[in-house]
């Protein structure tokens, strides 16, 4: 890794400490914001080297929110999915920097390099996480007029969707009150866990249709899913989380270990234990392991843990000695057990009613946040545009000169949907070309407008 000249900055906001550092040429900056006393949130901002100046269109900035809860955006989203370098520190062709600046955050506190000094400081609800994130955005944007020119697009994957919609509302409120200086460009939900009930109900029927479960497996899956639905209805969210873990175990056994992130694959995981508590930890490790199997290309060992706790920690210079990347992740998950199964469909409705652009994208082969479940929660929206949206035809998506159908899309007013073929849960990894083009179109990136600069082109034709 190259030698870096790093500049350090320390500031106090209402008695809370913010520490920041940046490379000499300012292409990267990172830091900690103490979002509450003794609760420290880590962020990492990349300025795009592909920036195109078009006066009519500002250069966008993307805030990437990882799932889990407890999975690190700074580690996984950045090095495994969309950042400038992969886990072997080789340049990533399809980095989303081609379309926007990228802001990775280890959210909520306790995730990745973020940490709490006392265990009662972990967040217990999505709203608490959104409040911390809003505090972080104020610290990053309010004092920087150049950043304020870039519309902020909140892009979320998996559990991150529940943070994204609560953050969208919290940020809007702060913007309207004049307390946050940023323009909200939109909220983008990629294979997100917006309605847990709809996802668990989709698992059995989907897997039966593709021969991965038989009727016995289907019956067991459906009866557990119905139990979860009732628990959610009764407000028993912690029990619903426990049942969710049991259901994952039942499906793993009945399907001979189908992969929850791509139902065409086997998960390489060890035999599943039925204790819910253990399973939650396993779910997190499985998430990290799945991503690292995707990235362990020949020639590199691709171990994200040793990368983050090794050269990256050394490069960043401001990570406390006794903080290890991912050290508090399991506690992030367990503290959110009371909110994990709570739906956030109403928040999507609120964003739509406020005129915010909401985009949903979904990988065809995802199981955990299956397209079938996503379509089910979308049909529950109270948004007045829904009937018109549902009636519309879709447009096919292609990549470059290739005539293979890569997906479909349609938009009505401020709601947009992309179906991505051949992708599982991690769409930017499985279909980098179409994902990059999609994000360029959604953010209206000047780079997507000035197409000659880009190797990848979307050709959209009306059916
Ligand atoms: C900024 O400096 C880093 C090395 O510190 C280098 O890798 C990067 O290419 C530079 N970026 C620009 C835009 O000059
Ligand atoms: C605003 O942020 C950008 C990106 O990190 C940086 O290049 C610039 O120097 C910052 N401006 C100020 C006034 O801090
Ligand atoms: C990188 O982009 C080029 C086209 O510019 C393409 O041929 C190549 O396959 C891409 N590599 C990866 C790893 O996506
Ligand atoms: C790290 O060490 C400092 C002082 O050495 C201590 O105050 C702090 O609580 C420690 N943090 C953790 C998470 O162990
Ligand atoms: C929503 O996105 C469309 C492009 O799809 C854009 O024309 C419009 O200005 C955006 N609206 C808002 C409020 O950002």
SS (H, E, C) 24-82: CCCCEEEEEEEEECCEEEEEEEECCCCCCCECCECCCEEEEECCCCCCCHHHHHHHHHH
Average pLDDT (181-199) is 98
Q: Is the peptide bond before 108 cis (omega within 30 degrees of 0)?
A: yes
Is 425 part of the annotated catalytic residue set? yes
Residue having the nearest C-alpha atom to atom 2 of ligand 1: 25
Nearest ligand 5 atom, CA 411: 5
Which residue lies with its CA nearest to atom 5 of ligand 3? 455
Do the strands 28-36 and 16-23 form a parallel or antiparallel pair, or are they unpaired?
antiparallel
CA atoms within 13 A on the CB side of 5: 3
Give domain 6-194+344-459's CATH number out of 3.40.50.1820, 3.50.50.60, 2.60.40.420, 1.10.3720.10: 3.40.50.1820
pLDDT in tens, 214-260: 999 999 999 999 999 999 999 999 999 999 999 999 999 999 999 99
Q: 143 or 132: whose pLDDT is higher?
A: 132
Q: Does the pLDDT at position 276 exceed 60?
A: no
- Indicate if ligand 2 lies below 6 Å from the C-beta of 147: yes
Give residue 93's pLDDT: 92
Known catalytic membership, residue 297: no
Per-residue model confidence (pLDDT) at position 293:
56
d(CA 82, CA 96): 5
User: Residue of the nearest CA to atom 5 in ligand 4?
Assistant: 322
Question: At residue 452, does pLDDT exceed 80?
Answer: no
More confident residue, 137 or 272: 137
Q: Which residue, among 57, 128, 120, 143, has the nearest Cα to 443 in the 3D structure?
A: 57
Under a CB-based contact definition with an 8 Å cutoff, are residues 277 and 283 in contact? Answer: no
pLDDT tops 90 at residue 287: no
Banded model confidence at residue 151, pLDDT cuts 50, 70, 90: very high
The per-residue pLDDT for 455 is: 42
The pLDDT, as a whole number, for residue 268 is: 57
Identify whether 329 is a catalytic site residue: no
From the CA of 438, how far away is ligand 5's center (Å)?
14
Q: Is any atom of ligand 2 closer than 6 Å to the C-beta of 144? A: yes
Which residue of 444, 445, 449 sits with most ligand 5 atoms within 8 Å of its CB, as the best mutation to test the pocket? 444
Which ligand is the nearest neighbour of the Cα of 29? Answer: 2
From the CA of 457, the nearest ligand is: 3
Smallest CA separation from ligand 3 atom 2, residue: 93
pLDDT number for residue 273: 32
pTM, whole model, 2 decimals?
0.91
Query: What are the φ/ψ torsions at residue 321 (nearest 5 degrees)?
Result: -50, -45
Task: Say what the pLDDT of residue 428 is.
Answer: 96
- Residue ranges per structural domain of the chain: 6-194+344-459, 196-336
Answer yes or no: is the C-beta of 25 below 6 A from any ligand 1 atom. yes
Please, what is the average pLDDT of the chain?
89
> What is the greatest pairwise CA distance in the chain?
62
């Amino acid at each position: 890794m190259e030698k870096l000249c790093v500049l350090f900055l320390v500031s106090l906001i209402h008695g809370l400490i913010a520490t920041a550092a940046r490379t000499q040429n300012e292409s990267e900056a990172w830091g900690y914001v103490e979002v509450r006393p003794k609760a420290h949130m880590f962020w990492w901002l990349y300025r795009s080297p592909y920036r195109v100046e078009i006066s009519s269109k500002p250069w966008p900035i993307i805030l990437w929110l990882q799932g889990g809860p407890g999975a690190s955006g700074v580690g996984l989203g950045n090095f495994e999915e969309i950042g400038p370098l992969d886990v072997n520190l080789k340049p990533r062709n399809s980095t989303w920097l081609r379309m926007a600046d990228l802001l990775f955050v280890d959210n909520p506190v306790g995730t990745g390099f973020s940490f709490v000094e006392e265990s009662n400081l972990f967040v217990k609800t999505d709203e608490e996480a959104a409040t911390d994130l809003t505090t972080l955005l104020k610290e990053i944007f309010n004092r920087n007029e150049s950043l304020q020119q870039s519309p902020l697009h909140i892009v979320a994957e998996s559990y991150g969707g529940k943070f994204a919609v609560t953050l969208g509302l919290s940020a809007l409120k702060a913007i309207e009150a004049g307390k946050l200086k940023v323009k909200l460009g939109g909220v983008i939900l990629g294979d997100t866990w917006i309605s847990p009930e709809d996802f668990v109900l989709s698992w059995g029927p989907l897997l039966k249709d593709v021969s991965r479960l038989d009727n016995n497996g289907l019956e067991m899956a459906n009866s557990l899913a119905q139990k979860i639905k009732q628990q959610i209805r009764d407000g028993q969210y912690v029990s619903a989380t426990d049942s969710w873990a049991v259901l994952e175990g039942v499906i793993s056994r009945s399907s001979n270990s189908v992969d929850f992130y791509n139902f065409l694959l086997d998960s390489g995981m060890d035999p599943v234990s039925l204790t819910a508590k253990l399973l939650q930890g396993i779910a997190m490790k499985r998430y990290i392991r799945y991503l690292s199997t995707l990235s362990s290309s020949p020639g590199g060992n691709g171990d994200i843990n040793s990368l983050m706790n090794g050269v990256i920690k050394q490069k960043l210079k401001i990570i406390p000695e006794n903080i290890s990347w991912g050290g508090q992740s399991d506690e992030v998950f367990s503290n959110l057990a009371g909110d994990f199964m709570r739906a956030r469909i109403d928040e999507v409705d609120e964003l739509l009613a406020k005129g915010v652009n909401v985009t949903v994208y979904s990988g065809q082969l995802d199981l955990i946040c299956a397209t079938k479940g996503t379509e089910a929660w979308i049909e529950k929206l109270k948004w007045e545009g829904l009937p018109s949206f549902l009636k519309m035809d879709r447009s096919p998506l292609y990549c470059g000169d290739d005539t293979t159908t890569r997906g479909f899309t349609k938009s009505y007013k401020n709601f947009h949907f992309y179906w991505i073929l051949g992708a599982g849960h991690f769409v930017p990894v499985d279909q980098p070309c179409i994902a990059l083009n999609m994000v360029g179109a959604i953010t209206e990136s000047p780079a997507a407008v000035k197409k000659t600069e880009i190797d990848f082109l979307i050709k959209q034709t009306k059916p």
